[in-house]
A and B are shown apart, each in its own frame.
Chain A
Amino acid sequence: MNRATRTLAFLGRLEGFPIAVVLAVLYGAFILSAPEVFSGYRIYMSFFQTVPPMLVAALGLTLVITAGEIDLSFPAVIALSGFVFTWVFRAIHSPVIGFLGAIAAGALVGYVNGFMVARLRVPSIMATLATQFFWYGVTVLLAGGLQINIEDVIATTTHALFVGRLFGVFPVQALWALGLTVFLWFILNRHRFGEAIMFIGDNAEVARVMGINVEATRIWLFTIHGAISAFAGLLLTLEINVFFPTQGQGMLLAAMAAVFIGGTSIAGGQGVLVGTLFGSYVIGSLEAGVVATGIGGYWVQLVEGLVMAASVILNVIMGDEGISALSRTARRWGWRWQEPAIGKPQDQDGA
């Protein structure tokens, strides 16, 4: 067995490896083309400040997509939770109750989504498209269409705890996002609930006949994603000390892109949370990075599209089937590559 292919096959199985490569290459390119910006630490601190809300929402979305569903309503939850927090904070000056209220509001929105999907059997893309309009509408109505400033929240412990600066520079929300990634990884890969999610996304009938309560699991899943999205909204509102009724808009496609370039398939059955972590930083860094290189703002979308396409292609290639297919092709072109271990069981001498 060729060592190079073996190493490649091993790395391909490391969770999130392809997208980590993309991130490294991307930052490498930025450092080369805009050294004055990307060789200092400041730009990275700014990413750690801006990316976490989208990353947090994308983590929950990863679980939903793993279960073979989709949730388009989380941007509305980001707005609604921000409103609930600011409203409670202005009314009774309790950031803790505001925080809990916002999470509860998000969970409620998620529960309604889950109920529609699991009990009323509305396809999730239709149900959550409707609820995303509805909850944005509710938020705009309640807020009277106005933004709300809550500058005095900066003095609170809640603010310091969730969006403070470690050693005066490092945004704490990045640690919360990282911690949530680790926690959800264990839930998905090492917990009964996560296993149920994967089997439901793989084949809900199999899950059902094996005794999984498919409906209850789906409702729980949407409820959890609602709560997680509310947390994302809180990080955003706390960071900028202001609620505005359109917050979260624009995060939908970005978060979905982060999930997909991270290696989670729309087909369901498998979720790559580590990939979503790296994917979110790729998506969150692209715009600033491309602008910093000085090639001009008009190029941003084009480059974003290229990087996304490259990432999803890389994920397919580095996947189980991909490497053996690639090495077959390579051999046809005359390269002396051997079949890797995976995908060709008979090459292995006993597992």
Chain B
Amino acid sequence: MAESSQARTSLRMIKIEKYFGSVCALKDINFEVGQNEIVGLIGDNGAGKSTLVKILTGVFPPTSGDLYIADQKVDARSYSVKKAHTLGIETVYQDKSLGEKQAMWRNFFIGRELTYPLGFLKVRAEKQIASDIMINTIGFRGKGIGVDSKASKLSGGERQGVAIGRAMHFEANLIILDEPTVALSLKEVRKVLNFVHKIKEAGKASIYISHNIADVYEISDRFLVIDRGEIVASIEKAKIGLKELDEFLLEYSHGLKDKVQP
């Protein structure tokens, strides 16, 4: 989108809160993501990472607070996955990005099919574009994987590559990666991290959520630490080494650290 490429921030959250009944899942969440910034979101299980992601991607609305995408305020009530897509927010999930038994070309266009007026698919056009993304953006070179292959034929890292390539094709300005490397071998993790580097090179923004501090550290420009539904720290990569970050988090999880103002 033309106007968003000049936007200062790709995402801004102001006083976002989320309650499930009387349970508070997110409290007073304030943060922003720059227009070409990779932000690593770190937090323990149950810290509120998934809830935050689901609000961002339109799966459910926040209880209160304001959401700005590309500097434009978004109405929480009409916000949905489709709306998020049109606003340039794409998500890559740990395990629910691709339909296993479906052909690659279907996986690229699911939810955003190229269709004729009555809703019938433009199969040839979809396959052509899918093939183009697979070869040029993701870098699959032959080796028996094509647009007609089923997703189950791909390795874990390749699947994440497809999901990232798909997000980039649809002109995402902000790609959210939700634990994309869980259950992957080291070699596959490396592939995924290379894809994330491509996001940065393409001038896009990303929120990278992971348990693995080393991965987060390598690719992020800044780290956000979330704990018990609150953002407790925002640290520039330039100001902290991997070891210090690790120690910081360790201390934090043992309850030794007080809240650090972002």
- Are A203 and B121 closer than 8 Å at their CB atoms? no
A residues 279-328 in Cβ contact with B at 8 Å: 320
| Residues of chain B with a CB closer than 8 A to A237's CB | none
Interface residues of B in 51-78 (CB under 8 A from A): 57, 59
A144 contacts the other chain (CB 8 A): no
For chain A, what secondary structure do more than half of its interface residues adopt (helix, strand, loop), or is it mixed? helix
CA distance A211 to B93 in the complex (A): 14
The segment from B41-49, B98-106, B222-230 found at the interface with A is: B98-106
The verdict on A191 contacting B120 (CB below 8 Å), with A198-B99, A203-B99, A269-B101 known, is: yes
Chain A hits for B239, CB < 8 A: none
Instruction: Indicate if A208 sits at the interface (CB-CB under 8 A).
Output: yes
Q: Is the CB of A350 within 8 A of B102?
A: no
When C-beta atoms are compared, the residue in chain B nearest to A199 turns out to be B99
**A269 close to B110 (CB less than 8 A):** no
Contact B143 A195 (CB under 8 A): no
Across the interface, do A346 and B98 meet the contact criterion of CB distance under 8 Å?
no
CB-based contact A195/B110 at 8 Å: yes
A207 within 8 A of B: yes
Q: How far is the CB of A163 from chain B (nearest CB, A)?
A: 29
Interface check A192, CB cutoff 8 A: yes
**Which of B144-152, B205-213, B251-259 forms contacts with chain A?**
B144-152
Q: Is the CB of B99 within 8 A of A207?
A: yes
Q: Using a CB-CB cutoff of 8 Å, which residues 32-74 of chain A contact chain B?
A: none
B119 touches A191 (CB 8 A): yes
Per the CB 8 Å criterion, the residue count for chain B at the interface is: 33
- Verify B102–A351 contact, CB threshold 8 A: no
Q: Which of A173-232 contact B (CB under 8 A)?
A: 186, 190-193, 195, 198-199, 202-203, 205-212
The answer on a CB contact under 8 Å between B59 and A351 is no
For B150, list chain A residues within 8 Å (CB).
320
Chain A: residues with Cβ within 8 Å of the partner, total of: 30
Query: Are the CB atoms of B96 and A351 closer together than 8 Å?
Result: no
Find out whether the CB atom of B119 lies under 8 angstroms from the CB atom of A192: yes
A209 and B59 contact, Cβ closer than 8 Å, known pairs A199-B110, A269-B101: yes
Give the distance in Å from the alpha carbon of A186 to the alpha carbon of B82 in the complex.
25
Give the residues from 79 to 108 in chain B that come closer than 8 angstroms, CB to CB, to chain A.
80-82, 85, 91, 93, 96-102, 106
User: For B123, what are the chain A residues with a Cβ–Cβ distance below 8 Å?
Assistant: 190
A190 x B100 contact (CB < 8 A): no
Q: How far is the CA of A208 from the CA of B85 in the complex (A)?
A: 13
* A345 in contact (CB, < 8 A): yes
Is B21 part of the binding interface, using a Cβ–Cβ cutoff of 8 Å?
no
Chain A nearest CB from B124 CB (Å) reads 11
Q: Which B residues are CB-close (under 8 A) to A345? A: 143-145, 149, 153
| Contact assessment for A208 and B100 in the assembled complex, using a CB-CB cutoff below 8 Å | no
Q: Which residues of A contact B96 (CB under 8 A)?
A: 203, 205-206, 209
Q: Given known contacts A192-B119, A192-B121, A199-B110, is B91 in contact with A209 (CB within 8 Å)?
A: yes
**A64–B170 Cα gap in the complex (Å)?**
31
B136 close to chain A: CB less than 8 A: no
Q: In angstroms, how far is the closest chain B Cβ from the Cβ of A62?
A: 15
- Asked whether, in the complex, the Cβ of A195 is within 8 Å of the Cβ of B106, the reply is yes
A residues 326-351 touching B (CB-CB < 8 Å): 341, 344-351
Contacts of A193 in B (CB 8 A): 119
Q: Chain B residues with Cβ under 8 A from A207's Cβ?
A: 99, 110-111
Chain A hits for B93, CB < 8 A: 209
Q: Which 6 A-B pairs have the closest CB atoms?
A: A345-B144, A350-B142, A211-B111, A351-B146, A210-B111, A202-B99
A-B contact pairs, 12 of them (CB 8 A): A186-B120, A198-B99, A198-B101, A199-B110, A202-B100, A202-B102, A209-B91, A210-B81, A210-B111, A211-B111, A345-B149, A350-B142
Interface set of B (CB-CB < 8 Å, partner A): 57, 59, 80-82, 85, 91, 93, 96-102, 106, 110-113, 115, 119-121, 123, 142-146, 149-150, 153
